[in-house]
């Protein structure tokens, strides 16, 4: 179907009636191709379906269920918008063969998407995603889809969501007494409203919840991405009128969570590398470490988390960008290894043995409990980050995104591979060559003294992404080094940060 491409992230695109846009016809077409793969696979012929609060998400979910049932596939669907990690856990709990989530994650409101999961609750990685894409592309446009089989379409029971909540609460632990730690949680009008407050309250916290109503326009927020400071405007206006010390915001499908911390100068937004490092150290302190514990991150994530991990005697693994690789690695860990924590710099975190995808529900609960723990010692999360930085070095990072066409992205990457020099680079790694035992990826990483830079085209947007990280003995030196390397890289690439 014109311009609808099934990639490693499934399908993501702008909704509309015309060819090449996401609509009922394209959802049927993609599901038809998936159904053929399901029928030919050795996995159970059963699928879990979830959806977020975007426009048409519920309708797309219904069409997905009906189309799958038409091919004799048993389908279970949530009856309200539900976070993607709940689906990942449900697939494992019910021994389903597959999963589909209708969401475009943190994209603007005109987008929607279609994520596919395997029997382990892991989003499809390269090989299987390629199989599904081939099946979709090979479909005969005139092939008739049979009528739906209503008896094969069922709703998930409340026992499934309760089991998901329980495994989080068991991992984190209920407070000895209710906490009065003051914080705000925003669902940004997404699926998190149906899960995050439930878990927080059962743990013993009393969140001030805002932006909980389902709304495909996300209350007018152009891009409901917790990495963007603008999404916190409403929370900040409320925080100024009370004693709020922390603000949390999750994206529409509640697999990412962002954090703002109150300081003497006002609220400051933490980045994903800071949060990941803090959580690694906090979990190691409060829950202890078992032999073979493994932290899993990505090749573009920062250095502080790795330094802390190794100092605690844990194994640290870097994989390609995309939490699906982290989930796949968890499933394939040898018996003498066990999963401890996983994170991406883009606000994706995972702990526990529930979901096999990034999980903003358990991450939100861990962050709040961690913040309350340090608050009882008279510290903020930012204070704790400074303490860790004094010990391990000031690791600062920045992500630059350049809005450029696919052709321009290809041109830049080809120029780099043809030997374009980057001043000061000690060495480089081209992940297209399948290095470090990883699948081939369109990423080039440069190493400098005390700093790194990675360049890759975005997999979901017309953007070139530049990840820069430095580690210095002082905060001032780290800021200076970060800015200098950023400017150097942008000039070398011939792009502007947008």
Query: Hey, which bits of 167-273 come out as E strands?
Result: 183-186, 208-210, 246-250, 257-263, 266-269
Tokens representing 79?
A: 């009856």
Classified as helix, coil or strand, 58 is helix
The Cα-based distances of 373 to 142, 242, 369 in angstroms read 61, 20, 6
Q: Does the active-site annotation cover 346?
A: no
The Cα-based distances of 225 to 221, 232, 440, 476 in angstroms read 9, 10, 28, 29
The packing angle between helices 304-311 and 381-392, to 10°, is: 70
Are 438 and 318 spatial neighbours (Cβ–Cβ below 8 Å)? no
Where helices occur in 334-445 by DSSP H, the ranges are 360-375, 381-392, 406-417
Tokens representing 94?
A: 């019910």
User: Residue 356's closest CA among 333, 335, 330?
Assistant: 330
C-alpha to C-alpha distance for 165 and 361, rounded to whole angstroms: 9
Chain-centroid distance, C-alpha 74: 28
Using only C-alpha atoms, the chain has a radius of gyration, in whole angstroms, of: 22
Query: Hey, which bits of 187-331 come out as E strands?
Result: 208-210, 246-250, 257-263, 266-269, 293-298, 315-319
Which letter, b or e, does each residue of 101-131 get, where b requires 16 or more Cβ atoms within 10 Å of its Cβ?
Answer: bbbbbbbebbbbbbbbbbbbbbbbbbebbeb
Are 163 and 186 spatial neighbours (Cβ–Cβ below 8 Å)? no
DSSP 442-473: S-EEEEETTEEEEEEE-SSSSEEEEEEEEEES
Would you state the torsion angle of the CA atoms of residues 75, 76, 80, 85, taken in this order, to the nearest 10 degrees? -110
C-alpha to C-alpha distance for 275 and 414, rounded to whole angstroms: 34
**Which one from 46, 69, 105, 451 is the annotated catalytic residue?**
105
Catalytic site positions: 105
């Amino acid at each position: 179907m014109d311009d609808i491409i099934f990639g490693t992230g499934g399908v993501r695109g702008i909704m509309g009636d015309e060819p090449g846009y996401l609509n009922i016809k394209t959802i049927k077409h993609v599901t038809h191709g998936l159904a053929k793969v399901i029928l030919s696979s050795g996995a159970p012929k059963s699928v879990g379906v979830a959806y977020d609060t975007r426009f048409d998400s519920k309708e797309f979910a219904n069409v997905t269920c009906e189309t799958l049932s038409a091919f004799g596939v048993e389908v279970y669907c949530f009856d309200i918008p539900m976070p993607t990690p709940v689906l990942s856990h449900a697939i494992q709990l019910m021994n389903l063969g597959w999963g589909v989530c209708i969401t475009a994650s943190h994209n603007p409101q005109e987008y929607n998407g279609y994520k596919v999961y395997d029997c382990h609750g892991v989003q499809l990685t390269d090989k299987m995603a390629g199989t599904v894409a081939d099946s979709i592309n090979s479909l005969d446009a005139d092939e008739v889809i049979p009528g739906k089989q209503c008896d094969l379409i069922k709703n998930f029971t409340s026992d499934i969501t309760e089991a998901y909540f329980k495994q989080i609460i068991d991992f984190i632990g209920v407070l000895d007494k209710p906490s009065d730690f003051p914080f705000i949680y925003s669902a940004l009008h997404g699926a998190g409203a149906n899960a995050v407050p439930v878990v927080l309250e059962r743990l013993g916290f009393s969140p001030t919840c805002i932006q909980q109503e389902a709304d495909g326009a996300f209350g007018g927020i152009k891009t409901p991405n917790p990495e963007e400071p603008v999404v916190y405007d409403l929370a900040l206006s409320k925080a100024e009128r009370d004693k709020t010390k922390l603000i949390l915001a999750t994206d529409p499908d509640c697999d990412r969570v962002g954090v703002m911390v109150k300081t003497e100068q006002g609220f400051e937004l933490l980045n994903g590398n800071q949060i990941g490092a803090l959580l690694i150290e906090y979990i190691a302190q409060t829950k202890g470490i078992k032999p073979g514990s493994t932290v899993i991150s990505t090749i573009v994530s920062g250095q502080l988390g790795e330094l802390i991990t190794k100092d605690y005697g844990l194994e640290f693994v870097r994989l390609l960008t995309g939490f699906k690789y982290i989930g796949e690695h968890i499933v394939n860990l040898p018996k003498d290894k066990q999963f401890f924590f996983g994170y991406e710099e883009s606000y994706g975190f995972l702990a526990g043995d529930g979901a096999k995808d990034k999980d903003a529900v358990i991450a939100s609960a861990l962050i709040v409990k961690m913040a309350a723990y340090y608050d009882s010692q008279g510290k903020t999360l930012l204070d704790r980050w400074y303490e860790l930085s004094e010990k391990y070095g000031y690791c600062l990072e920045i992500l630059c995104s350049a809005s450029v066409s696919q052709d321009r992205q290809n041109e830049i990457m080809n120029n780099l591979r043809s030997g374009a020099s980057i001043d000061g680079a000690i060495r480089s790694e081209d992940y297209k060559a399948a290095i470090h035992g990883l699948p081939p990826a369109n990423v080039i990483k440069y190493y400098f003294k005390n700093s790194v830079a990675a360049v890759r085209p975005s997999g979901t947007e017309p953007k070139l992404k530049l990840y820069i990280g430095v580690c210095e003995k002082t905060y001032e030196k780290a800021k200076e080094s970060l800015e200098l390397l950023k400017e150097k890289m942008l000039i070398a690439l011939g792009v502007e940060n947008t």
